[in-house]
């Protein structure tokens, strides 16, 4: 009886430890605040992908395949969609002016977040900014994503790198993000320090997913990394 109870308690502890792993709660681009130079997607409205006209979906598919391949397109899954039109834009605190590839002003844009998988079954999310007719808003939106053959270091390895950093180790990780970083032109792990009761900022470490190099050590004001998708 005692052996059975011990086994049950052991299984319970194992289950709890797995549930509490930071790597079980990885966040992606759709949960990350946009840089000032990018479109304020946090202010866009949610949209149902199924409500996009079939002709537009077909154009989107054609555009993706033209820039990548049919195999790449088949590996994609729509995670979420947001949009901006002139009505929404007028209500923004700072309305934006959007231009397409030919520098023509645009008053409607879809932002579609696609999920794919890299080697090792590691999920990854990227976004496409698309005109109302299904044409890509800008070229080069697949930079760093398509034809990626290198193996990505996993979340556990990234955490060990952040913890072993001699300059600013993160021993207690909080939010973890995986996304394409426009500044460094590569995919990165971004590891936030767990929330603390003192101070108004959290330490962050940015790590190259391909070679484990620490690209940046910084601090963010609390509450500046998430945006509301409601």
CATH of the domain at 207: 3.10.450
Given a contact cutoff of 8 angstroms between Cβ atoms, the answer to whether 112 and 128 are in contact is yes
| Angstrom distance (rounded) from CA 205 to CA 193 | 8
Considering 131, 165, 181, which residue would you say is the last residue of a domain?
Answer: 131
Residue 124 DSSP code: E
Given a contact cutoff of 8 angstroms between Cβ atoms, the answer to whether 226 and 174 are in contact is no
At residue 149, the pLDDT reads 65
At residue 227, the pLDDT reads 39
Does residue 8 fall inside a structural domain? no
Does residue 141 fall inside a structural domain? no
Which pLDDT tens digit goes with each residue over 159-197? 999 999 999 899 899 989 999 888 888 899 999 998 755
Range of the domain at 103: 32-131
Q: Do 98 and 126 have their domain in common? A: yes
The count of structural domains within the chain is: 2
Does residue 25 fall inside a structural domain? no
At residue 161, the pLDDT reads 96
Q: Do 39 and 124 have their domain in common? A: yes
Q: Do 96 and 183 have their domain in common? A: no
Which pLDDT tens digit goes with each residue over 52-108? 999 999 999 999 999 999 999 999 999 999 999 999 989 888 888 899 888 999 999
Residue 34 DSSP code: P
Does residue 185 fall inside a structural domain? yes
Stretch 210-228: mean pLDDT: 73
Stretch 132-142: mean pLDDT: 92
Indicate the pTM of the whole model: 0.77
Q: Do 105 and 39 have their domain in common? A: yes
Q: Do 36 and 126 have their domain in common? A: yes
Q: Do 160 and 197 have their domain in common? A: yes
Q: What angle do CA 156, 198, 32 make, to 5 degrees?
A: 45
């Amino acid at each position: 009886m005692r052996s059975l109870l011990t086994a049950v308690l052991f299984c319970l502890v194992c289950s709890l430890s797995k549930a509490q792993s930071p790597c079980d709660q990885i966040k992606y681009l759709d949960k990350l605040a946009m840089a000032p130079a990018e479109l304020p997607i946090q202010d866009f409205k949610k949209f149902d992908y199924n409500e996009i006209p079939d002709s537009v979906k077909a154009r989107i598919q054609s555009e993706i395949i033209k820039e990548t391949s049919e195999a790449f397109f088949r590996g994609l899954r729509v995670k979420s969609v947001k949009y901006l039109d002139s009505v929404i834009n007028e209500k923004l605190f700072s309305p934006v002016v959007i231009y397409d590839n030919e520098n023509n002003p645009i008053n409607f844009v879809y932002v579609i977040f696609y999920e794919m998988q890299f080697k090792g079954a590691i999920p990854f999310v990227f976004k496409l900014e698309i005109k109302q007719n299904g044409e890509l808003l800008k070229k080069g939106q697949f930079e760093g994503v398509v034809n990626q053959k290198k193996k990505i270091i996993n979340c556990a390895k990234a955490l060990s790198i952040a913890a072993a950093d001699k300059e600013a180790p993160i021993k207690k990780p909080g939010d973890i993000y995986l996304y394409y970083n426009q500044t460094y032109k590569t995919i990165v792990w971004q590891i936030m320090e767990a929330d603390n009761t003192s101070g108004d900022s959290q330490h962050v470490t940015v790590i190259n997913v391909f070679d484990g190099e620490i690209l940046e050590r910084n601090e963010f004001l609390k509450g500046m990394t998430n945006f509301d998708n409601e």
